[in-house]
Amino acid sequence: MSRQGNGHKGNGHQGAVKLTRKDFASDQEVRWCPGCGDYSILAQVQKVLPDLGIPREKFVFVSGIGCSSRFPYYMNTYGFHTIHGRAPAVATGIKATNPDLSVWVITGDGDGLSIGGNHLLHTLRRNVDVNIILFNNRIYGLTKGQYSPTSEFGKRTKSTPFGSIDWPLNPLSVALGAGATFVARSVDRDTKHLASVLERAARHKGSSFVEVLQNCNIFNDGAFEPFAGRTVRDDRLLYLEHGQPLVFGKERNKGIRLNGCRLEVVQLGEEITESDLVIHDERADEPNLAFMLAHLDYPEYPVPVGVFRAVEKPTYEELLEEQIQTAIRRQGEGDLEKLLHSGYTWTVE
């Protein structure tokens, strides 16, 4: 039997040696379909990790079930391929046990928003310091092409031959609604942007939620092509930058303005200038702007990508540890003998 892999790849203990992306590639053959958007996401994660200054043994990748959830096998870090939808709960246990670890959850639109929707919500609201990367391809790939909770209304798939009659969930809106402290979106093929968003997510303290628009070239090919395709994306994506006006377009000549309670697309020119546009504020306490941006969709609007929200809040594991330390300060370190003898006792001679 071959005894390759799973714990025996690369240079073992690193110490202060600077890691490279190769240090994070496991010896397992990557088995996504050729042309799948997952390859690009894997490459960007492997590119970002060495820059974080965290030793390799402190990374844990946790996933559920689905194509994206194969991800941990391809990372030469600690990894746990769990069960459908439950990765955020497993990750919570890991992080609460050892807050020193950099814990990543890899999930998909079916895993994270359908069967595991509940865990996603609650992990986000607790602000557990984990990085949740949701690969959204708007389809069930591993089970060979049924519609997903992010598939558009009317979508024809194997399970909806007459068109889906479910309205889709908006992943960012779900995350914002759950009170997530970091919410972002990027696109699989937009590698530079993806890498920068992933790095921001990794550096954020608290739950980070990143939706990656990911092409499934087998069952839902070109789902994002109309706005994220190489030739059109400059005109149809809105790159969010904190503190900057919402400008988009190849010529940087279009923008987003607030009209009453709605956002509207305007043409920049003599009448309307950048000073009339909404200034992006990812740090706003109230998530109103982030919500509005999350609901902009092609073709009426450009599709925003980047960081929608990044606010600070104590993390779950910090608060947990603080309660323990407070209890120890007040009651003293637990004494088992004393505990067993607590309450009403009596002695039999």
Partner 1 sequence: METTTVVEERPQPRIQELETVTIRFSGDSGDGMQLTGTQFTNTTALAGNDLATLPDFPAEIRAPAGSLPGVSSFQVCFSSHDIRTPGDQPDVLVAMNPAALKVNLPDLVEGGLIIINTDGFNEVNLKKAKYDSNPLEDGTLARYRVYKIPITSLTLKALKDVNIPHKQAERCKNFFALGLMYWLYDRPIDATLKWIERRFADQPELIQANQTALRAGYAYGEATEMFTTHYRVRRAAIEPGVYRNVTGNEATALGFVAAAQLAGRPLFYASYPITPASDILHALAQYKNFGVKTFQAEDEIAAICAAIGAAFAGDLGLTGTSGPGLALKSEAINLAVMAELPVVVVDVQRAGPSTGMPTKTEQADLLQALFGRNSDSPVAVVAPATPADCFIMAIEAFRIATKYMVPVIYLSDGYLGNGSEPWRIPSLDELPRIELKFRTDPEGFYPYLRDERTLARPWAVPGTPGLEHRIGGLEKEHITGNVSYDPDNHMLMTQLRAEKVARIAEDIPDVEVFGDPEGELLVVGWGSTYGAITSAVEHLRARGASVSSVHLRYLNPFPRNLGAILSRFEKVLVPELNYGQLALVLRARYLVETISFPKVKGKPFKIAEIVHKIQEVLEQ
Footprint of partner 1 on residues 62-81 (CB under 8 A)?
Answer: 62-63, 65, 72-73, 75-81
Residue that is written with structure tokens 């407070």 in the block: 326
CB of 106 to partner 1, least distance (A): 12
Residue closer to partner 1 by CB (options 20, 288) is 20
Residues numbered 108-167 forming contacts with partner 1, rule: CB under 8 A: 118-119, 121-122
Amino acid at 259: N
- Could you tell me which stretch among 34-42, 58-66, 199-207, 297-305 binds partner 1 (CB under 8 A)? 58-66
Name the E strands within 39-95.
Answer: 59-63, 78-81
Cα separation of 234 and 128, whole Å?
A: 35
> Residues 8-37: x/- map of binding to partner 1 (CB under 8 A)?
xx--xxx-----------x-x---------
CB of 223 to partner 1, least distance (A): 28
Torsions phi, psi of 212, nearest 5?
Answer: -110, 120
- Could you tell me which stretch among 161-169, 198-206, 229-237, 341-349 binds partner 1 (CB under 8 A)? 341-349
The binder of partner 1 chosen from 192, 230, 262, 341 (CB under 8 A): 341
The binder of partner 1 chosen from 5, 35, 163, 226 (CB under 8 A): 5
Q: Calculate helix-pair angle for 316-331, 87-97, nearest 10 degrees.
A: 40
Task: Note whether 331 binds partner 1 by CB under 8 A.
Answer: yes
- Are 69 and 87 in contact by the 8 Å Cβ rule? The answer is yes
- Could you tell me which stretch among 211-219, 235-243, 245-253, 321-329 binds partner 1 (CB under 8 A)? 321-329
Q: Shortest CA distance to 296 belongs to which of 227, 201, 242? A: 227
Residue 104: strand, helix, or coil: strand
In DSSP terms, which residues pair with 264 in a beta bridge? 257
